[in-house]
Amino acid sequence: MNGTIALEEHFAVNETVDESKQFMPESLWTELKARLLDIQDKRLALMDKYGIEMMILSLNAPAIQAIPDAKQASELSRIANDFLADQIQKRPNRFAGFAALPMQDPDAAIAELTRCVKELRFKGALVNGFSQVKTMDSAVYYDLPQYWPFWQAVEELGVPFYLHPRNPLHTQQLIYEGHPWLLGPTWAFAVETATHALRLMSSGLFDKYPRLQVILGHLGEGLPASIWRADHRIKKFSRGIPAAKPLSEYLRSNFYITTAGNFRTQTLIGVMMEVGADRLLFSTDYPFEEVSDAADWFRSAEISETDRLKIGRLNAMKLFNLASCQ
């Protein structure tokens, strides 16, 4: 379909671009690097060719989250966000932005998100999983108490938070030892991100801030297929979980799910059955995936035209207040 809105679409600045080299064979790196650094040329031409009206852009991974020094993380966040704002100003009808945030310092993250939403007119934030704080061998997750004021600020600003994957730390990769092909988007990304999302759900966060909206990519990182069993086991053998509701209720009320990088109709239909078409959003995961693959699949996926329009456009217009997007 034409007029689609895509929202897991990545760019890089010179300071972060080389962090994406690990996700591509050497033979493809030159092309990927060029695509990450480009916004106005090849990216826009692909959008025009495949009927994508708008991309909401976000910084590549892990980028800010892999900087243990909070001051440095804040400085690079600001550089990346200002660069993105300048690019959006050139074509505000085609591009919008997610803020990169220095989650190493919750107060700094609140300040930067507030600036990006109120001054730069960004549509929310995208954060690349846990943050390394003070030391390289640290992994800090956002259900912890020090982040609850941050979540309050997100709710008050009325914007969504995209929880994007990253690999586990090298010291936490023993299960993948000798099997490097299972790292990254093949498997490790989903395990890491789904676990982080379950921590948020089970912490009681959404009871305290019920209007919070979190976005997961890749058709939900496997959670829609597994959430019933998680609820079943928690109910059967409760271990003092702080959350007041079954986790599936938060998945259906506080999460949106995108098609980024997971172009499988059977899986899409399963997610629709679990959370409903109103909670799904089209995305490609460019430039790590091809716009053509995403657009051709979505155009021919065996779903109703009503649902295709919702997922491809209308849900995003409502979530991001894009009523003026024509």
> What is the predicted pLDDT for the residue at 1?
84
| Angle, helices 223-236/188-202, rounded to nearest 10 degrees | 40
Q: Report yes or no on 325 lying in a domain.
A: no
Query: Would residue 293 show up in a list of annotated catalytic residues for this protein?
Result: no
Cα–Cα dist 28/20, whole Å: 11
- Residues above pLDDT 70, as percent of the chain: 99
The pLDDT of residue 325:
44
Q: What residues make up the domain containing 35? A: 4-319
Dmax (CA) for the chain in angstroms is 55
Task: Decide if 80 is inside a domain.
Answer: yes
CA dist 68 and 71 (Å) reads 9
Assign residue 23 the CATH number of its domain. Answer: 3.20.20.140
Q: How confident is the model at residue 238 (pLDDT cuts 50, 70, 90)?
A: confident
| Backbone angle region of 222, left / alpha / beta, with phi > 0 → left and psi within -120 to 50 → alpha | left
Q: How far is the C-alpha of 57 from the C-alpha of 286, rounded, in Å?
A: 10
Say whether 164 sits in a helix, a strand or coil. Answer: strand
pLDDT surpassing 60 at residue 317: yes
DSSP states of 37-102? H-SSSHHHHHHHHTTEEEEEEEE-SSGGGG---HHHHHHHHHHHHHHHHHHHHH-TTTEEE-B---
pLDDT of residue 240: 86
326 in a domain, yes or no?
no
Q: Pairing mode, if any, of strands 280-281 and 255-258?
A: parallel
Q: Is residue 36 part of a domain?
A: yes
For residue 16, what pLDDT is reported? 97
pLDDT value of residue 237: 83
Region 253-272: what's the mean pLDDT? 98
**Residue 222 located in a structural domain:** yes
Mean residue pLDDT across the chain = 96
Q: What are phi and psi of 164, to 5 degrees?
A: -100, 150
Sign of the alpha-carbon torsion through 174, 176, 177, 180: negative
Domain tally, the chain: 1
**146 domain-assigned:** yes
Over residues 203-222, the pLDDT tens digits come to 999 999 999 999 999 999 99
What local confidence, expressed as pLDDT, does residue 120 receive?
98
Check pLDDT > 70 for residue 8.
yes
pLDDT at position 323 over 60: yes
Q: Are strands 125-128 and 280-281 parallel, antiparallel or unpaired?
A: unpaired
Q: Is position 324 within any domain?
A: no
Q: What is the pLDDT of residues 135-186, one digit of tens each?
A: 999 999 999 999 999 999 999 999 999 999 999 999 999 999 999 999 999 9
Does 326 have pLDDT greater than 60? no
Percent of the chain with pLDDT over 90: 95
* pLDDT at residue number 273: 98
Question: At residue 30, what is the residue type?
Answer: T
The predicted structure's pLDDT at residue 24 = 86
Backbone angles phi, psi at 52, to 5 degrees: -95, 115
pTM score, whole prediction: 0.97
Query: From the candidates 105, 143, 285, 307, which is the catalytic residue?
Result: 285
Q: Residue 229's closest CA among 274, 185, 262?
A: 274
- Range 243-266 average pLDDT: 98
Q: Is residue 51 part of a domain?
A: yes
Cis bond upstream, residue 102 (ω within 30): no
CB-facing half-sphere around the CA of 128: CA atoms within 13 A: 24
